[in-house]
Structure 1
Amino acid sequence: STEEILTVIYIVLTRRPLYYRAKEKRNRLSLLVQKPEFHEDTCSSRSGHLAKETRVSPEEAVKWGESFDKLLSHRDGLEAFTRFLKTEFSEENIEFWIACEDFKKSKGPQQIHLKAKAIYEKFIKTDAPKEVNLDFHTKEVITKSITQPTLHSFDAAQSRVYQLMEQDSYTRFLKSDIYLDLIEGRPQRPTNLRRRSRSFTCNEFQDVQSDVAIWL
């Protein structure tokens, strides 16, 4: 009967593992939280993106296709690539890379410890909000050393994520509408979200909004 079916559905929904209910709660919260300081630096508001994109000359954009390093070393290139990764639900990779670059500039044991803990909590630990795809050995080494981190604690992990982006995402970025519009001097068109790339972590997608921690 209809009543019996509804009863079964209710039981299934109310007995889901706490793990999934916790993830759903994090997802809702993450969509509400915005970090204006970071958006000013790297992931501006949509209007900010449009204003900056109009200043990128086709000649400059063409240089980004010469190497992944040239793309990341240019502010507008980094922003365009970040926007592309968002369409693939894999922006955690570039956010982790940026966090590691900033971490290397830490001064003093206290700042090193605080930043290392923030990176670990956000990107490394199992079920982290922005967990990146790392092999078991690399994660284990970081986990064991996180109580006494050094400026090189995330070198191996950063290198691994860099290679993933260079060999996978970067090649697709160069074929994307985002990049082709830039090198041809066309106005940027709205981008559609696509299914998450299998080359990145297989964990359930956490949230679409960029939410990189503000490093001290």
Structure 2
Amino acid sequence: MPRSVSGVEMRKRQAAHIEAPAQAPGQPRPNTCCLCWCGCCKCLWNEDRIERSQTCKMDPIEAGDEQHPSLDEVLSWARSFELLLRSLEGREVFQEFLRSEYSEDNLLFWLACDELKKETNPAVVEEKARIIYEDYVSILSPKEVSLDSRVREGINQSLSEPSNLMYEEAQLQIYTLMHRDSFPRFLNSSVYRDLLANRRRTCLDT
């Protein structure tokens, strides 16, 4: 005679054979992954993958690894405004000074134009050109930079067909303004002089 099965064991066997709700033919199961047959959105493997992905995007450079300019580099800034702008640390120090004079937007505009020059994707060029105009050229912007009427007119005409070089003349005008006006004051400011003195003390201590 076949072996009898208790009611409890029968329920266990029935539960073990319960399948997930049937999918419509040809319809993909949403939010599935190779380790999650049920396709639930709370898959632990999926959460672990997302967490690892977010961790990988973290900046590997810690605050303690910040690099400081050498004495030679700081001295080179006084000899050349171009060298100052080419240096990441130089731009940061110069921006700190400009912020104290409420003219930081000149440097930000110059940097934005420089980034635009590197773009080749027409869609990206159009978007960045529009943002630059709204942020630094429009008379309605609180960050408007000082440009003469001729340069402004040229920019307005270029807006219909923006290019990565449409702000080149305006960028040169702001560069000249910073070079002739802000740069000499920067070299005589406490921001630059204190940094220079600090670098010299560091050299003497080593």
Bucket of the pairwise TM-score, normalised by the shorter protein: 0.5 to 0.7
Structure 1 residue 52: Cα displacement: 4.6
- 1:79 matched to 2:92? The reply is yes
Partner of 1:105: 118
Partner of 1:174: 187
Matched residues in 2 for 1:51 and 1:81: separation?
A: 21
- 1:114 matched to 2:123? The reply is no
Q: TM-score, normalised by structure 2?
A: 0.63
- The worse-fitting range, judged by mean Cα deviation, of 60-69 and 85-94 is 60-69
- Using CA pairs below 8 Å that are at least 6 residues apart, which structure has the higher relative contact order? 1
Q: Secondary structure at the match of 2:74?
A: helix
Structure 1 residue 56: Cα displacement: 2.5
Structure 1 residue 51: Cα displacement: 7.9
Matched residues in 2 for 1:51 and 1:142: separation?
A: 42
Matched residues in 1 for 2:166 and 2:192: separation?
A: 33
Q: TM-score, normalised by structure 1?
A: 0.60
Q: Please, which runs of 5 or more residues in structure 1 have no aligned partner?
A: 1-39, 41-47, 187-216
Compared with structure 1, are the counterparts of its residues 61 and 102 closer, same or farther at alpha carbon in structure 2 (3 Å cutoff)?
Answer: same
Q: Is the 8 A contact 2:116 2:165 kept in 1?
A: no
Give the counterpart letter for 2:176 in structure 1: Q
The count of aligned residue pairs is 139
Matched residues in 2 for 1:56 and 1:134: separation?
A: 33
Counterpart pick for 1:143 among 156, 159, 182: 156
Q: Is the 8 A contact 1:57 1:182 kept in 2?
A: no
Partner of 2:168: 155
Q: Secondary structure at the match of 2:198?
A: coil
Matched residues in 1 for 2:65 and 2:148: separation?
A: 39
Q: What is the root-mean-square deviation in Å for CA atoms of aligned residues? A: 2.1
Matched residues in 1 for 2:72 and 2:123: separation?
A: 44
Question: If you compute each CA radius of gyration, which structure gives the higher value, 1 or 2?
Answer: 2
Q: Please, which runs of 5 or more residues in structure 2 have no aligned partner?
A: 1-58, 200-206
User: What is the correspondence of 1:1-216 to structure 2 with a 5 Å cutoff?
Assistant: 52=66, 55-185=68-198
How much identity, in percent, do the aligned residues show? 38
